[in-house]
Structure 1
Amino acid sequence: ESFVPHGPAESEPEGQVVLGLAESCGDHQDLLINLDLKVPAFAKAFARVAEVVVEDPAIRQAARESFRFYREQGYPLQDHRLQRL
């Protein structure tokens, strides 16, 4: 419910929230919050990856495929189930 300052990955200094809309992650490599239905090619450059999964069947199927990819790549996997309000 509040604004988070952000900008494009290509122009933001390190330590900022950046939006990556290109095929590269730039110099940012700590946490990727992937909002796409597929794993981006540059995901392996990040120390951590988070994906938001909702109950939509298409999104859940894409998340299952992403989960398999991350498991095959050796990422330590952990899920967090949030309660509906």
Structure 2
Amino acid sequence: MTRVNFYTVPGPTINTMNFACQLANQAIQQAKSVLLYCPETVAAEQMATTLWQWQRTSFLPHRVEARGPEKIRLCCDQDPGEDHGWLINLSAETPDWFARFEQVFELVYGESEFIAQKRQRYRFYKDRGYPLAYQDAGPR
């Protein structure tokens, strides 16, 4: 069964994008594929830029196409391609096909309306018996 992790990321959106890069890097280290689900094309483009510039001495190779050798894929539509490792959800909505993934990461950030939508997602998963975890991704 798909495991679902919620992370609260404080501060501006760039903090969330950097945290998504950190998670994507962890997925690669564990030989998992990762799909970064973005709310719209503009957000996907911003995420792509962040992946290229994430660290000074390296970048995280990624793709937008459904198929390719890169383990990280950006998506803002309803076609998950063949990905099934980790889903990092940057959108308020969770795609219908989330259960095909081993693990889902719901990133909670931004305005109160967006946070309220993520709380609804938490109840949705809980009511259906998905294993849930919650962590604050802020500075310690």
- Relative to the length of structure 1, the TM-score reads 0.82
Give the aligned partner of residue 125 of structure 2.
Answer: 70
Deviations 1:32-68 (A, max 9, x none): 0011111111111111100111252012101101111
CA distance in 1, matches of 2:102, 2:88: 11
User: Structure 1 unaligned runs (5+)?
Assistant: none
Give the TM-score of the pair, scaled to structure 2.
Answer: 0.53
What is the CA–CA distance in structure 2 between the aligned matches of 1:74 and 1:8, rounded to whole Å? Answer: 32
Shift of 1:69: 1.4
The corresponding residue for 1:83 is: 138
Deviation string 1:5-33 (CA, Å, 9 cap, x unpaired) is 110251223x6011122312111111100
In the superposition, relative to structure 1, how do residues 28 and 61 fare at CA in structure 2: closer, same or farther (>3 Å)? same
- Tell me, in whole angstroms, the C-alpha distance in 1 between the residues paired with 2:110 and 2:74: 24
- Give runs of ≥4 in structure 1 deviating > 4 Å: none
Letter in 2 for 1:6: H
Q: Which has the higher helix share?
A: 2
Structure 2 unpaired stretches of 5+: 1-53
Partner Cα separation in structure 1 for residue 65 and residue 86 of structure 2: 13
Work out the CA distance in 2 between the residues paired with 1:20 and 1:46. 14
CA 12–72 in structure 1, closer or farther in 2 if over 3 Å, else same: farther
RMSD between aligned alpha carbons?
1.9
Q: Is 1:71–1:77's contact at 8 Å kept on the other side of the alignment?
A: yes
> SS where residue 49 of structure 1 aligns?
strand
1:56 aligns with 2:111: yes
More strand by share: 2
Q: Contact (CA 8 Å) 1:9, 1:25: kept in 2 or not?
A: no
Percent identical residues = 27
Cα distance in 1 for partners of 2:126, 2:63 equals 31
